[in-house]
Amino acid sequence: MPSITLTYLKKLKQRGEKITMLTCYDATFAHELSTAGVEMLLIGDTLGMILQGHDSTLPVRLEDMVYHTACVKRGNNGAFVIADLSFMTCSSTEQALHSSAQLMQAGAQMVKIEGGEWLCDTVQQLTRNGIPVCAHIGLTPQSVNVFGGFKVQGRDSKQAEALIETAKKFEQAGAAMVLVEAVPASLGKALSEAVSIPVIGIGAGPDTDGQVLVLHDMLGLSITGKAPKFVKNFMRGQDDIQGAVKSYIAAVKDGSFPAQEHCYSE
Ligand code: KIV
Ligand code: NA
């Protein structure tokens, strides 16, 4: 597979072809997922829960992110690689630059940062320094203690409008992608229409430019046995992981995932 670039991903948005992303934390899965045709691999700080057994993403250290990014890079077969800036690794622009440099040197091609408009300066500085940025908005799990739980965001129209403004400001600041988590499907659609950069959704309905799921969730693996509403087990009816991943890709591309049952209403 030829290597996926940001230019190509933007073209997919323009053509209306859905973009696929999965989280990935190691070399073997990086090889499996990229070979199956997943366009983007995200080294998410969900590794704090999935790999490390914590109950939030807060304990994840930058060195954990760097380690898993390097693992994914070694197994990757042409997918676009994005790494999360974990909790308190970007509390100033200077710190964000320093943290991102480590992720990029480990093999990331973009960093993802959680938050709102206050990050626009940081996004601009990162981009100026050769580091593409994905802005993660909506439910931002690093702020779970501020939100008072993992709650659907943007349900009232004022909050929804504010999120659309935030996405526009991020685009103006130079962000190359937006990831939106846990918002009503109508807002996922509005966000994707409001900006020209790709908007990738998780729990944000079928009308975002692309979809992401946590790898272990879509393979039906879970410590708690409880999966969020937006998760579908793609292992069901498949003989192997390649089959599950290919079925995820097909379902995203043909628009059958996410279905109504995976979506939040207003
Ligand atoms: O850390 C992660 O896996 C993420 C996705 C849920 C989007 O940020
Ligand atoms: Na994350």
pLDDT of residue 204: 98
Q: Is residue 1 predicted with pLDDT exceeding 80?
A: no
d(CA 204, CA 17) in angstroms, rounded, equals 17
**Range(s) of the domain holding residue 111:** 6-262
In a domain, 199, yes or no: yes
236 Cα–ligand 1 center, Å: 22
Backbone angles phi, psi at 202, to 5 degrees: -135, 115
- Indicate the number of domains in the chain: 1
Atom 1 of ligand 1: nearest residue by CA position: 44
- pLDDT digit string, tens, across residues 159-183: 999 999 999 999 999 999 999 999 9
State residue 25's pLDDT score.
Answer: 99
The C-alpha atoms of residue 95 and residue 106 are separated, in whole angstroms, by: 17
Q: What is the pLDDT of residue 224?
A: 87
Joined together, the tokens standing for residue 142 give 């690093």
Q: Which atom of ligand 1 is nearest to the CA of 21?
A: 7
Check: CB of residue 24 under 8 Å from CB of residue 80.
Answer: no
Closest C-alpha residue for ligand 1 atom 2: 44
CATH number of the domain enclosing 225: 3.20.20.60
From the alpha carbon of 200, which atom of ligand 1 is closest?
7
ipTM of the complex: 0.99
- Over residues 32-56, the mean pLDDT reads 97
Ligand 1: atom nearest CA of 179 is: 7
Does the annotation list 89 as a binding residue? no
Q: Which of 94, 181, 193, 261 is catalytic?
A: 181
- Confirm or deny that 114 is annotated as ligand binding: yes
Q: Which ligand has an atom closest to residue 51 CA? A: 1
Asked if residue 55 belongs to a known ligand binding site, the reply is no
In this structure, is residue 1 part of a structural domain? no
- C-alpha 220 – ligand 1 centre gap (Å): 16
Please determine, for residue 227, whether its predicted confidence score (pLDDT) is greater than 70: yes
62 pLDDT more than 70: yes
Pocket (CB within 6 angstroms of ligand 1): 23, 42, 44-46, 84, 179, 181, 202, 212, 214
Taking only the tens place, the pLDDT of each residue in 103-144 is 999 999 999 999 999 999 999 999 999 999 999 999 999 999
Q: Nearest 10 degrees: CA dihedral of 213, 143, 133, 94?
A: -150
117 within a domain of the structure (yes/no): yes
Return the structure tokens found at 183: 């918002």
- The mean predicted confidence, pLDDT, of the chain is 97
Average pLDDT over residues 59-75: 98
Say if residue 46 carries a ligand binding annotation. yes
Residue 180 CA to ligand 2 centre (angstroms): 11
| pLDDT (tens digit per residue) in 240-254 | 999 999 999 999 999
**For residues 28-49, average pLDDT:** 98
Give catalytic status of residue 181 as yes or no.
Answer: yes
Percent of the chain's residues with pLDDT above 70: 100
pLDDT band at 266 (very low <50, low <70, confident <90, very high): confident
Write the CB contacts of 9 (distance below 8 Å, at least 6 apart in sequence): 19, 39, 40, 80, 177, 198
- The CA 125 to ligand 1 mean position distance, Å, reads 23
